[in-house]
Each structure stands twice: as C-alpha cells, then as structure tokens.
Amino acid sequence: MKDFAVFWGCTIQARFPFLEVSTRLVFERFGLPYRDIDGFTCCPEKSLVNNIDHGLWELTAARNIAMVEEMGLNLVSPCTGCVSNLATVNKELCHDEAKKGAVNSMLKEVGLEVGGHAALHHLVPFFHDEVGINAVRSRVVIPMKGMRVAIHYGCHMIRPSHSLNNDDPLEPVKFDRLVEALGCESVKHRTKMMCCGQGLDRVDQHENALHMARIKLRELSSLDIDAMVLCCPSCYLQFDNNQFLMEKDGEKFGIPILYFTELLGLAVGYGAEELGLMNHRVGVAPFLEKWERIGGEGSEVGGLESELEDIGVFGL
C-alpha cells in the first residue's frame, strides 16, 4: 500500500482531539503507512468559503492536494467534509485544463503544482476498499455479535458521486459491510440517509438544527438501538453535543454515538478508556455494558479461512 498523509481537518483537531486518538490507534493496529505532514490548512469548508468566494475555495483546496502530490503520497481523512471538498475541487480541475492552468500559475509562486492524480480517500471506504473486509474481520478480537447499531453515512462521505465515486450515492453499502464484519447488526431505519442537519447550526439557525437532530434520534429511540455509528466530526457534533443539550432540557433519547474508529478500535481489542470514549458528552456506558454482557457469546470471528486450517492442498 502506498504511504498516505492523514488530513485531520480543523474540527477534529480543534474540538475532538480524542477522535484523532482512536484513528491513530486503528492505523497502528492495521500496520498502515500513515504520515503526518506539515503545511495543511483548512480543506476549506465548503458552505462557508465557497459561498463567499468560489475561486479561493478552489485555490486553497488545490494547495492542500498539491502538497500531498509533491510528496508522492495519497490522502486519507477521517473527516467527511474535508474529503468531499478536496475531491470536488480535484475533479473540477481535472475536467478544466484552463482552470487548472490558472490555479497552477498561482501555486507556482509558493512552489507547488497540482496534477490531480493523488487518491483522496475517506477513511470508511478506504478501510473497505484498500484494507479490505477480510483483513478487518480477521483482526476482530471480541466480535460484536448481538449489538444493534444504526449507521449514519453522512452526506459527504459518498456525495457528490461524480467526484468521490466510492459507493452508491443514494444506497451505499460499504459502511454497512464493515460494521457487519465486526459482528454488529446494521439496523434498517427510515431516516438512515437523512442529512444530519448540523449545517443549520453554522448559519445561526440552532433551533432548526435541533429539529433535524430530533427527527433521527426519535426514530432511533423507538428501535432498540445500542448506538449510532458515524464517521464525520460535523455529524458527531450534531448527534453527540446537540443530543446532550436536548437531554439537559428534558428530552430523553439515550443514543450513544460512536465514531467508526472507536467501534473498530473496541472490536480489535483496545480499551474504552484508551480510545478516549469518556470524552463523549452522551455516555456510551450502555453500549459497553451490553457488549460486555453478551460479547463474543457463541460467536465465531468467522470467514471461510477460519475453518480451513491445515487443509490447504499446497500445505499453506
């Protein structure tokens, strides 16, 4: 596997550094060739920068991409917004030579050039496509059989598909498959593909943001779910922090929110504390308690090879 730079993005590092902890731990456990590189800026955030100045949005993203290219790396990010923004600009430049030329004439002044050939991955499809379901399954220490989780994809993990091209944009499957490989049941629900609505908090419409969060959380409360699993700091903010705020005001949901790297980290044998789970605002204890109670019960890690020991024709 080609070495890759991790694009942490502003939100994870400024607000949720514990998500960086679990991400690093799972990279370590899978022996992935990740690197921290100096010089990134904001991706930049689309709703904010693009709405005010499209050209600066493109130029800033192009600069980040060019840095990765110059070092001969690919890029992986645990932030959905970052990947979507970078990939969108990357595609725009690849399809418009004139624009790419204009961008490059400016980048040249800071010693960079964008070609558009680095792979830009979101962490979830990256685990599915590059690490592989089998590798994930075979690393599971305590299977999550019996755990019922609701997957929240998050819009920008998979859309716009003409830029990301990593799953079906309306009926994606990769996140489900990964979570199922850990032994969890991915519970079907009506609001599965609904946008989290956190964007409304960024445009001074807090009540509307809560309204959107409530719609999904209400459905999940009625479904006997052990946790919602997601992989986007903005969605995490919406469902952990805003759920906490609503609970403080007397609305009860009780839905633990787990980042994909945390769920994966638990399954491959890291402890809850080590992964930083006590930093969540909505407690994850109910999930952990149930898992401890039933974890591994009568469940096999599974996979064909687990039953094939010693029977290989070639003696392998």
Binding site for another protein (CB under 8 A): 8, 10-11, 13-15, 17-18, 20-21, 24, 36-42, 44-52, 54-56, 59-60, 63-64, 67, 106-107, 109-110, 155-156, 159-162, 169-170, 194-195, 197, 199-205, 208, 211-212, 215, 276
Going across the sheet that includes 185-186, the strands are 185-186, 148-151, 227-230, 257-259
Complete DSSP assignment for 275-314 = TTGGG-SS--HHHHHHHHHHTTTT-----GGGG-TT--TT
178 or 213: CB nearest another protein:
213
Residue with tokens 């003409």: 162
161 or 306: CB nearest another protein:
161
2 or 206: CB nearest another protein:
206
Across 85-117, b (16+ Cβ under 10 Å) vs e yields bbbbbbbbbeeeeebbeebbeebeeeebebebe
Helix (H) or strand (E) holding 4, with range, is: strand 4-6
22 or 186: CB nearest another protein:
22
Q: Shortest gap between Cβ of 242 and another protein (angstroms)?
A: 15
Question: In the structure encoding, which two tokens stand for residue 124, read together?
Answer: 């979830």
17 or 132: CB nearest another protein:
17
Question: In whole angstroms, what is the distance from residue 175 CA to residue 41 CA?
Answer: 28
Question: In whole angstroms, what is the distance from residue 259 CA to residue 80 CA?
Answer: 12
Q: Shortest gap between Cβ of 206 and another protein (angstroms)?
A: 10
Q: Shortest gap between Cβ of 2 and another protein (angstroms)?
A: 19
Residue with tokens 């904010």: 48
Q: Shortest gap between Cβ of 71 and another protein (angstroms)?
A: 12
Q: Shortest gap between Cβ of 74 and another protein (angstroms)?
A: 17
- Integer CA distances (angstroms), 136 to 139, 177, 259, 271, 307, in order: 5, 11, 16, 18, 17
Q: Shortest gap between Cβ of 150 and another protein (angstroms)?
A: 17
204 or 310: CB nearest another protein:
204
What's the gap between Cα 109 and its chain centre?
34
171 or 224: CB nearest another protein:
171
67 or 264: CB nearest another protein:
67
Q: Shortest gap between Cβ of 153 and another protein (angstroms)?
A: 11
Q: If we measure between CA atoms, which residue out of 74, 178, 184 comes closest to residue 127?
A: 178
User: Do the strands 120-122 and 34-35 form a parallel or antiparallel pair, or are they unpaired?
Assistant: unpaired
Q: Shortest gap between Cβ of 148 and another protein (angstroms)?
A: 24
